[in-house]
Amino acid sequence: MPTEDDHKLGLDRPVTRRDFLNGVAVTSAAALACPHLAWAAAADPVSRTPAGYPPALTGMRGSGYPRAYQTGHSLRDGNYWPQAPVAIDTSETYDLIVVGGGISGLTAAYLYQKRHGRDKTVLVLDNHDDFGGHAKRNQYTFGETLRLSSAGTFDLAAGRTPVQREVLADLGIDIPALTQKNVNTGFYSSLGMGQGVFFDKETFGADKLMKSPLPWTDFTYMYTPNPPSDAEAMWQQFLKDAPLSEAAKKDLYRLYHDRKDYLPHLSYDEKLAKLDTMSYEDFLLRVVDCDPMVCAFLRDKTFGDGRGIGSTPALLAHTRFGLPGFDGMALELEPVAEEAVYHFPDGNATVARLLVRKLIPAALPGHTMEDSILAHVDYAALDRTGQSCRIRLSSTAVKAVNLTIGGKTRGVEVEYSRDGILYKTTAAHCVMACWNFVIPYLCPEMPAEQKEALAYNVHTPNLWLNVWLRNWKPFHKAGINFINAPNGYYSQIILEHPITVGGYKHSQSPDEPIVLSMLRGYVRPGLDIKEQFRLGRMEMYNTTFEEFEREARSQLGRALGPYGFDPAEDIVGITVNRWGHGYSYWYSALYDEFLKTGGEPPHLRARVPFGNITIANTDAAGICGTGLAIDMAARAVDELTFS
Ligand SMILES: Cc1cc2nc3c(=O)[nH]c(=O)nc-3n(C[C@H](O)[C@H](O)[C@H](O)COP(=O)(O)OP(=O)(O)OC[C@H]3O[C@@H](n4cnc5c(N)ncnc54)[C@H](O)[C@@H]3O)c2cc1C
């Protein structure tokens, strides 16, 4: 029974937000039996989007729906094999099987064919109903207006290595040119909009949305003047009105303005070592002697790397996030190379879509990067008999075994589960472009030491929620297009990036529909980082769609209600991208002993070829990134041996 609050928030409205309620599709039985035909059969009455077209599905998405994760989780829990059906032999045989259809897996398939011949046969298996891995698209159609967003990864840097540049060039992606041509950098500032902060009453004693005087340090938003031209006036306003204690205000101001050496007694090298082995939070509290409320205020500023300030080395907080407190220390660090970074309207899903077009031209009509943006994927074309590359979705690999004849490995047999049925197929080679920690379950015969090194990589849980709004007039009225909500349920609230490309136009005026992204970080201060990730993932998977929705509606209503936002009227759809296994693990002197002892990084031991199986995926680089996913794919393809 909806309460009065539910009614005000719009939780009782019939909007398109629940195609995948708690991860279970609300579609017909026929659609479930034949998901790739389902979209043709029915159209969503509100969004006019073909129901069942993966990027257009709302509700629980990302990798957080049972069809994507159930088999993998039962494999992990030891429940899969005792109940596994007998494997059906597909009688197919390929030159290469790639496990994982993210950027790395698609690149491996592409480079394999490019290097060895377009007629070489490749099967790509992925457990999701869409390709791209973390690089997936979300979309929503308001009448005639299409809005796009990334479901996960969005920043694309110009290629740093020859193979990255080769692949981007092959796909027709020229980052510096795109950045110059397609990004309307001054769009929001020309409307008087900029960065804001939402103080909540639970943490700060009052609900208050304000303009923020802080320089832009947040990872999510770069297309804006930095620092704001009227920063000092904004600081004075902020100091007057922010619901922070006087001590916290004073400390914040000095933190951002003083050029003091807080570690004068240490030599230069000692300073670096100290800042690398203490968290930014400790630095603020114990070295700069800030009021604890300063830490509450800055808590989420490092969420871009999936960790809170209590789990991020002070040095990294400075070098990567530009956080304050270091200006007086004369740290002559290598300047971060200036490089063009671009966001496609659907993030790096465009890269995945272009790779798919290279592999299976019929799946994505058109010929240029520009015409790909509005092109519709024909999912039925991904896995047709007779084509040299086939992408088989909703298929979880459960085993990969080197076949041995006469003491020599001769190919690989891969078993995968699709809709509860177990299949087996063979190939000359296999590239594992899935996550490192999955591989030991798939390759039981691997040496124990390699399995241990693979399992070292525990991913960060990331939540990326897209809210489809009828208009953004309240944001315009508040003069804010990006909100940091320290300690809020969602910590970053971002209006879409102002990018126009290939016939796609970003929302042009506050009266028009728009997509708003809301991000949540999962931190458990004080615990080991991997334990934080495990608990965060558990929390994420135990949160229902309704809870995510309620929090989003309530937070937006509280922040923007005074500017006319009505959660019940203004929100027309919600897509919750749960990435239980999000960012790859990155090393830090706060947690990784081998950095102190000088041991070999686990990812190097983890990615050693195993017979005819080689290992791609960004995990194999020991940190995540689109470029690295490409590098690792190239390495894995190069490592395949031919006898
Ligand atoms: C929310 C989020 C935001 C990000 N933002 C950025 C960004 O802005 N810029 C950037 O460069 N990077 C970003 N990243 C990092 C991103 O992980 C990498 O850039 C890159 O997309 C990783 O590609 P991949 O192919 O290596 O892995 P993935 O994209 O994870 O693909 C691996 C695929 O293998 C599948 N798989 C796993 N096990 C199996 C199995 N047993 N059988 C079949 N399939 C399996 C997985 O489900 C997945 O689809 C972000 C990541 C997340 C989660």
Quick one: pLDDT at residue 34?
29
In sequence order, which residues have a C-beta less than 8 Å from that of residue 177 and are 6 or more positions away? none
Distance 582 CA to ligand 1 centre (A): 7
Q: Which of 73-82, 162-171, 340-349 has the lowest mean pLDDT?
A: 340-349
What letters, b where the CB count within 10 A reaches 16 and e where it falls short, cover 276-287? ebbbbbbbbbee
The predicted model gives 26-44 an average pLDDT of 33
Pocket perturbation via mutation, ligand 1, pick of 153, 161, 167 by most ligand atoms within 8 A of CB: 153
Choice between 405 and 309, residue whose per-residue pLDDT is larger? 309
Ligand 1 within 6 A of CB of 567: no
**Mutational pocket test of ligand 1: of 434, 462, 466, 623, the residue with most ligand atoms within 8 Å of the beta carbon:** 434
| Encoded amino acid at 320, one letter | R
The number of beta carbons lying within 10 Å of the beta carbon of residue 164 is 21
Going by the DSSP 8-state scheme, the letter that residue 34 receives in this structure is S
Are 476 and 193 in contact, with CB atoms under 8 Å apart? yes
User: How many angstroms from the chain centroid is the CA of residue 48?
Assistant: 27
User: Quick one: how far is CA 558 from the chain centroid?
Assistant: 27
Confidence of residue 31 (pLDDT cuts 50, 70, 90): very low
Tell me how far apart the alpha carbons of residues 9 and 312 are, in angstroms, rounded to a whole number: 36
Model pLDDT, residue 15: 58
Average pLDDT over every residue of 613-621: 98
What sign for the dihedral angle of Cα 446, 449, 452, 457?
negative
Q: Above 60 in pLDDT, residue 29?
A: no
At 222-254, the pLDDT tens digits run 555 556 677 889 999 999 999 999 999 999 999
- The two tokens of residue 582 are 């999000």
181 — pLDDT class (breaks 50, 70, 90): confident
Cβ(154) to ligand 1 under 6 A?
Answer: yes
Mutational test site, ligand 1, from 537, 624, 635, max ligand atoms within 8 Å of CB: 624
Which of the two residues, 38 and 573, has the higher pLDDT score? 573
**pLDDT the model gives residue 402:** 96
Indicate whether residue 125 lines ligand 1 (CB < 6 A).
yes
Determine the pLDDT at residue 16.
54
Among candidates 226, 305, 276, which has minimal Cα distance to 523?
305
Between 220 and 114, the more confident residue is: 114
User: Does residue 386 register a pLDDT over 50?
Assistant: yes
In this model, does residue 40 exceed pLDDT 70? no
304 lines ligand 1 (CB under 6 A): no
Cα 118 to the center of its chain, rounded Å: 31
8-state DSSP, 286: I
pLDDT tops 90 at residue 43: no
Are 287 and 258 contacting, i.e. CB atoms less than 8 angstroms apart?
no
- Angle value at C-alpha 429, between 426 and 434, nearest 5 degrees: 95
Query: What SS3 class is residue 533?
Result: helix
Ligand 1 proximity of 461 Cβ (cutoff 6 Å)? no
User: 349 vs 87, 114, 198, 498, CA distance in Å?
Assistant: 33, 21, 30, 17
Place of tokens 């009455």: 45
Has residue 26 got a pLDDT over 50? no
User: Looking at ligand 1, which atom is closest to the CA of residue 75?
Assistant: 41
Percent of the chain with pLDDT over 90: 79
462 lines ligand 1 (CB under 6 A): yes
Q: How does residue 465 score in pLDDT terms, banded at 50, 70 and 90?
A: very high
Q: What is the pLDDT of residues 539-580, one digit of tens each?
A: 999 999 999 999 999 999 999 999 999 999 999 999 999 999
Lowest mean pLDDT among 149-153, 189-193, 606-610: 189-193
pLDDT score at 322 = 86
Closest atom, ligand 1, to C-alpha of 395: 43
Ligand 1 geometric centre to CA of 445 (Å) = 25
Task: For the beta carbon of residue 265, count every other beta carbon within 10 angstroms.
Answer: 7
Mean pLDDT over all residues of the chain? Answer: 90
* Banded model confidence at residue 461, pLDDT cuts 50, 70, 90: very high
Running DSSP on this structure, what letter comes out for residue 224? S
Instruction: Quote the pLDDT of residue 224.
Output: 54
Ligand 1 mean position, distance from CA 108 (Å) = 14
